[in-house]
Chains A and B, each alone.
Chain A
């Protein structure tokens, strides 16, 4: 029994998200210690959760893409495009439910474009999504006449507000739900196993009859749908369609996924890790404000955490 416990514990330590989780908790303790009245409060926790939603949802899709050995630089642009499309559709008096479906569809289409280009043309994902990053951004600007679009949110904004009754804003529940589905799908469905296999060794996957092209297109599409969801929630937060929204979001998302233990060469990554990574970055931003540190300190802090998290992971994995 004792032996079992010990084995269980080392197993836990070996998880890729263990280091980042430790960082998350110890920073939490540190910030709470320095400014106990404000940082420790429930409201602050809720706010942090809400602020993490967009990055977290995008990081779910990005985890899949990165585990596949790919990358998606277009996610920020896809989110911005979705906020614009949602705002335009609301202006045109489309029913809110249809607007949400439209937002997810637009996101999914951007992913489908990425996946198809990567698969059909055999161009590296970095190049393809570098292209679509600019392409989608341009489309967002064109569709919005280069202006922010005010639209009556007609109830969509409630998704990111505290409900009258209930613990968390619906958006946070949606993100949690999406994360659980993504995590279970990755670890224990055939699709998830195929994703890992293709990322680990594409030749082997082909040899084993894995439909490599289909898996790849599906993963990018899925990432797109999640970007669309993030876009809808971003609109719910801001209540404007903003073509300049989420510039640089892709880097924050990639950072979250990498902090969470993913390898950019594919085959390795974790949904829990990505969530922890996303939370960690929000926590640093929030903590620095509460402690009263200026922005530049916070940026240095975030950068250092990324490098340290990945370096620790390497050290931990070294044999012997």
Chain B
């Protein structure tokens, strides 16, 4: 149903909007920012922050724009003197009991109070009374810290737990200036989406335990990306700290925040995706190594030459049937294409393991989380992996290895050794050639013959296809660590070497 379009005036400019749209939304569409705390498109408009007040012609007093609907002939002023004064007064009331501990507050730099004070306030404080003190530094869940003093009681967080996660851990208690936000009795903010309350909180009342005191937000660079922790493909923004490496124990990726995409993840991100980023700088590979027959570091060109010649020798002697390739849905579409061109088209390889096995399956729910904890199985499917090319299972591969059918094992970002546990070293010593390729070392990285460092997806540009078939681009947020290269360029380098040799042989 499309609403009737009506004309109304915003700050003297005639605009068109669907009838019944909230003035705050219509203004946002026209590029006019009206300050607000409690209103959120997904969480409704309780109208309790009173910050979005505007002047409406004919109305005896300022109106809250989040509860005023557009109608024919409406005249709204957001920046007139009465509107400004009303907004500033509301802001001043919000700050009456605010502790103003910005220097130690993690929100500072992205705080609604700071931003709106600079944009809409700039009054001289008239408050002479002592501030109301409430409880600070409360660990209300595994990921979230609460500071009741800083809260402006917008109720966004309580409405999120009520309406979105339907867990209702948070509530508002008390009356008047003693009102405070807190956990419901006996509860802990421990749902799978608790981190979103931190994003929703316009002030420093709810902060990330994980990010607490690590880096100042103004040190961070933001890069649009796609979450790689399940096949949903949530849109995220990567916040990286590269200029001051002494913070956050040298981690380059400081935090992950959701990006609004109404088609995929709306405003939200699950805690798995949000807090899973620490792995990006841990156990990383930066050097090209050959571990067997003896351990030495190689230049990329030498490593690719050696690997290509070994592959060629075994292929000529034993044929492509004995080569098994274990891939992961973490490959980008670009990687998948190069993967197919190399392993299927150039080598004629037949044994693949890429379908999610228990090592890559997790919890699924009906909000965002998907069962497959890899981002890009669909990209492989589009190239025939899963339909034309069947996938092995770990058990089958294990059996084949035991039977000695496999002379070569090429593992890409999938830690077989961890999955096999104690059997791993025996199993991996069977083939003549074991290659480990990936951003992380894992256990397999210690047992392989070749160890090739690949970039993590945050270090390259690329595309993921999510479970619905939606192709989404992600951007390079960080420089590759050490010698790491994108997976596709490794496949391509090997393919060119083998191709050249085959041509020469012909």
Task: Say whether A associates with B.
Answer: no
Question: Could you tell me which A residues sit within 8 Å of B by CB distance?
Answer: none
Question: Could you tell me which B residues sit within 8 Å of A by CB distance?
Answer: none
